[in-house]
Structure 1
Amino acid sequence: MRGVRQVFSSYPSSGITPQGLASILRQADQGNPYAQCELFEEMEEKDLHLISIMGTRKRAVSGLEIIVEAPDSPTIAEQKATDLVKDHMRSIAAFPEKLEGILDAIGKGYSVTEIIWGIHKQEAIITDLKWREPKWFRFDQESMSELRLLDAGYADGKPLTPFKYITHIHKAKAGIAVRGGILRPCAWMYLFKNYDFKDWVTFAEIYAQPLRVGKYPNSASENEKDILLNAVASMGTDAAAIIPDSMRIEFIEAGGKTGSTDLYERLARFCDEQMSKGVLGQTSSADAMSGGLGSGQADLHGEVRDDLLKADARQLGATLTRDICKPLVDLNMGPVDRYPKITVFIEDPEDLKELGDNAERLHRMGLPIGQDFLYKKFNIPKPQAGDAVLQMSAGSITGADSNTLDAAVAANAQETVGIPQQTILAAAARSMDKLAEQLEAEAAPITDAMIDRVRKLMDEVETLEELSERIPELLGDMDTSKLTELMAKAFVTADLVGQHEVINDGDE
């Protein structure tokens, strides 16, 4: 005899029809997802594209960093609980692989992972996490929200033992869990692609080889006709036959069927693209050739749309907090007011080009930037003693008028390899008087124009109250861009001179 929880499959995808698929989905809607789980399992096994994109979706999350966070301003007990969870999480073997089992809920709508408990030094510990067949579970008939274990003694399933399972419910959309998996809408594309493949293979069998026509004379007997027919049939498999000299076999090439072949391929590609949209949120990288620079995990993040990745991480973190943090703390310490929180951390990719430009700009302005920081950000190893390193010659400013403020600031502010910063700052200080004169000269026409507009307004009004009311209008229409640009140049100059004075004071 066999129990109700079987590891064997009934293979519901064999010969499946639209009516059969609809029946399987309706059974799941009524709280019995057994056949639906078996179908989803077969879909991933049989469809190479589907198993690839589902693996990408799950590994994009399972490879992320898991962080255990204490509550804000934790008490001594709450901090102790946080440290306890951290220690136990680190001791779980092959945890990323276990996470992929939990993330099976992305496709099926829910997943159940059994917690194997043990005792070590008078502490309850998690020794293992075992993925369990989702078809071994069903939902209660009343609310369709409580998972139950299939059991011969319980018509509606046996309630799950507390602290024994990690039950992850993935919500791709609102509604009951059995309808929330990504593989449910993919099932229709899988069905259509199966029909397409069957017709495509039949087409290939018929038109991939030439049509064989045997011709016999009018005087041929029935026995001779049978000989010719057998010879024509043998040509399809053995490529060899014997026939009387009075008979002949002709081969007619199949032509004009290119359009039909393209139709099958386009339909199969369309189904793949629709599944990619559902699973990854886009199609641009599902079939793209890999190449270029970047880490494997970063590539996975790029293939899964950012909002989907964050939603998966957020839902997984909530499940781990509920089903791992609370049991560990309650069994070892007893209940606490606030429990630690498990977060699946997503590090947003950084624009290294923008970082490099900003670092260069800030360095020229005199902001100290640690070399170790840049080595780490750009993932460049530090040169060791004796290593050949790239050198940059000290450049000079060309094509600039030395009498202008721009050239003066650039000539004194730009730092190049081989020129000490203090030397450059000293040069800026020596030019202080000249720069101040140039600033005053450039500012004069700008400020004079602004003052002239105020004077003109004063001539137009009759009272101070009227002047007070109209000045805001004047300021709103006034172009201050040139003055703003000039002040920015002045601030740069003042900053350089100030740094020089601070350095001099320190030396003294």
Structure 2
Amino acid sequence: MSKQGLYIGGEFVSFAEAKKAQPNIQQIASRGSVSGFSSLGSVLPNPDTVLKKMGKDIKAYKDIKCHPVVKGCLRRRKAAVKAKAWRIVQDQASEQVTEHINNIFKKLQINKITGGMFDATFFGYQPCEITWGHADGAWLPVNIQAMPVDWYFFDAQNQLRFKDKNAGQEGLLLDPRKYLVPTQDATYENPYGEPDAALVFWATAFLQGGLEFWVRFTEKYGSPWVIGKYGNNYDEAKQETLLNNLYAMVQDAVAVIPDNSQIQIIEAAGKSASADVYEKFLMYCRSEINIALLGQNQTTEAEANRASSTAGSEVTADIADGDCEMTAEQFQLLIDWIVDYNWGGPSPQFEYFEDSNGGIEQADRDAKLFSAGARFSNQYYAREYGFQEGDLLPPLEQVPTDPSFAEQTHTFRPVAQNFAEVTVPTLEQAAADPLNDMVNRLRRVVQSAKGFENIQDAVLAEFSEMDSTEMVKVMQLAMTLAELEGRAEVTDE
């Protein structure tokens, strides 16, 4: 039986061989096919190790989020993302679609939405429900609201489900394009993501407990002990009275006691080392939280110097870029849905960018580029430094002239001047007295030289008494004056 196939490039290829060249589009590894996997229906438990060991759900992370140290670190990271400048780039989309997307995003509360999405870094995932509405002939996102994470879970197919009271244990499978779900380092094995809360949970718990013990220790040993001695004839009633008097003395520094009683005040000496142990432990816990959430603890510790704080800020900037990338992916997904619902075709791109707005570093860079010969347009200065329309004047060569000048028969021409003649008197006037002689000698050397190539030898002969360092400065000045004088002569001709 002959094989069925085709001749391709003079070579016979059977259909069986051709099929082998096609990719396998079937998923082989899944939770339903792997040996030994069992799940409770559609519920995929959160594999977070901290939650599993405690036997708790993600609500436990909400409690530590309110701790001052944790809250401060999160606010710092969230502020870095909110402060990032963003824009809609046309890319391959049409101008009309790009304009529509720009108008839609201007009406959205981007700051609020970004802050809600950012919580995915702490909890691992953050469902954000989209409220769609039809306006101006298009389907638009009217509102995007971050919802409580403990209301949702993932199923065995990594699909997000809502704990609907009428859906039972299976939960309610959510409609596509109804939720934005930013996640931090989510995988097929763990769609819940990697929460930063797991990194700081125990440090925060120990910090809270250690602070409580430290307060007790301070109350016990922070103030001196007042000890009262009573005689043998004191019954329990008199002892109680003496104790109350001592308590009043500690509170108000005033007490009335019998004349045969003795009062002794003893300082809690030798307990400072124990107090240091509590303080070091609390500082360690706080440092662990800062490192986990900010990537460093230099900018939050009192003993950090400027160099270490600067290095710490750079590490934090890298983490902020990662947070921005997470939110940018969700905004881009939203744009794709809007375009697909309404117009179709390529979508414009959402991106964050550095808005220096006249930063010192960029100003220094632009100054160096200008010295090297680069020239920037007014549009560049307005975009990069935040100038408003009308703040910048056009370059001199572009300043429009009065049309009446064009009707005049006489053309204005500036009087040509020798640059050296104009510059040397200015230098002489600005220079100190010790430099006057050098300037005059340089002027004579430059004017008497027969050519540009002879100036160097003439200057060396004239200033032979100077050392090499000063000679270099003099030579630079001489060459500059000679070059400018040569340009002035060419302009005169």
Q: Does TM-score exceed 0.5, indicating one fold?
A: yes
Q: Does 1:314 align with 2:336?
A: no
Gaps of 5+ in 1: 1-22, 293-298, 385-392, 412-427, 443-487
Given the superposition, is the C-alpha separation of residues 229 and 312 from structure 1 closer, same or farther in structure 2, using an over 3 Å criterion?
Answer: same
Q: Which residue of 1 aligns with 2:419?
A: none
Write the distance in 2 (CA, Å) between the matches of 1:433 and 1:311.
66
Tell me, yes or no, if the aligned pair for 1:139 and 1:147 is still in contact at 8 Å.
yes
Tell me, yes or no, if the aligned pair for 2:125 and 2:193 is still in contact at 8 Å.
no
Q: Which residue of 2 aligns with 1:43?
A: 64
Q: Does 1:273 align with 2:281?
A: no
Q: Which residue of 1 aligns with 2:277?
A: 263
Q: Which residue of 2 aligns with 1:345?
A: 353
Write the distance in 2 (CA, Å) between the matches of 1:329 and 1:85.
8
RMSD: 4.7
SS, match of residue 169 in structure 2: strand
Q: Which residue of 2 aligns with 1:332?
A: 342
Q: Which residue of 1 aligns with 2:123?
A: 108
Say which of 73, 83, 89 aligns to 1:63.
83
Q: Which residue of 2 aligns with 1:244?
A: 258
SS, match of residue 104 in structure 2: helix
Q: Does 1:186 align with 2:200?
A: yes
Tell me, yes or no, if the aligned pair for 2:132 and 2:139 is still in contact at 8 Å.
yes
Q: Which amino acid aligns with 2:65?
A: E
SS, match of residue 305 in structure 1: helix
Q: In the TM superposition, what whole-angstrom CA distance separates every residue of 1:434-461 from its partner, at most 9, and x where no partner exists?
A: 323346999xxxxxxxxxxxxxxxxxxx
Q: Which amino acid aligns with 1:358?
A: K
Q: Which residue of 2 aligns with 1:125?
A: 140
Tell me, yes or no, if the aligned pair for 1:317 and 1:342 is still in contact at 8 Å.
yes
TM-score (norm 1): 0.63
SS, match of residue 111 in structure 1: coil
Tell me, yes or no, if the aligned pair for 2:186 and 2:192 is still in contact at 8 Å.
no
Q: How many residues align?
A: 387
Given the superposition, is the C-alpha separation of residues 160 and 319 from structure 1 closer, same or farther in structure 2, using an over 3 Å criterion?
Answer: same
Write the distance in 2 (CA, Å) between the matches of 1:287 and 1:383.
44
Write the distance in 2 (CA, Å) between the matches of 1:258 and 1:204.
10
Q: Which amino acid aligns with 1:346?
A: E
Q: Which residue of 1 aligns with 2:183?
A: 169
SS, match of residue 110 in structure 1: coil
Q: Which amino acid aligns with 1:113?
A: C
Deviation (angstroms), 1:224: 2.5
Deviation (angstroms), 1:33: 10
Q: Which residue of 2 aligns with 1:415?
A: none
Tell me, yes or no, if the aligned pair for 2:47 and 2:190 is still in contact at 8 Å.
no
SS, match of residue 56 in structure 1: helix
Q: Which amino acid aligns with 2:57?
A: A
Deviation (angstroms), 1:60: 0.5
Say which of 445, 453, 456 aligns to 1:436.
453
Tell me, yes or no, if the aligned pair for 2:160 and 2:173 is still in contact at 8 Å.
yes
Tell me, yes or no, if the aligned pair for 1:44 and 1:51 is still in contact at 8 Å.
yes
Q: Which residue of 2 aligns with 1:151?
A: 164
Given the superposition, is the C-alpha separation of residues 209 and 148 from structure 1 closer, same or farther in structure 2, using an over 3 Å criterion?
Answer: same
Q: What are the within-5 Å matches in structure 2 for residues 192-231 of structure 1?
A: 192-231=206-245
Write the distance in 1 (CA, Å) between the matches of 2:293 and 2:259.
63
Q: In the TM superposition, what whole-angstrom CA distance separates every residue of 1:119-166 from its partner, at most 9, and x where no partner exists?
A: 2222222222222111111122x25x4322112314243222222222
Deviation (angstroms), 1:502: 8.4
Deviation (angstroms), 1:401: 6.2
Given the superposition, is the C-alpha separation of residues 368 and 164 from structure 1 closer, same or farther in structure 2, using an over 3 Å criterion?
Answer: closer
TM-score (norm 2): 0.64
Tell me, yes or no, if the aligned pair for 1:107 and 1:182 is still in contact at 8 Å.
yes
Q: Which amino acid aligns with 1:97?
A: K
Given the superposition, is the C-alpha separation of residues 225 and 402 from structure 1 closer, same or farther in structure 2, using an over 3 Å criterion?
Answer: closer
Given the superposition, is the C-alpha separation of residues 318 and 68 from structure 1 closer, same or farther in structure 2, using an over 3 Å criterion?
Answer: same
Gaps of 5+ in 2: 1-45, 394-424, 460-475
Tell me, yes or no, if the aligned pair for 2:452 and 2:482 is still in contact at 8 Å.
no
Q: What are the within-5 Å matches in structure 2 for residues 4-19 of structure 1?
A: none
Deviation (angstroms), 1:287: 4.7
Q: Which amino acid aligns with 1:83?
A: E
Write the distance in 2 (CA, Å) between the matches of 1:150 and 1:230.
58
Tell me, yes or no, if the aligned pair for 2:184 and 2:193 is still in contact at 8 Å.
no
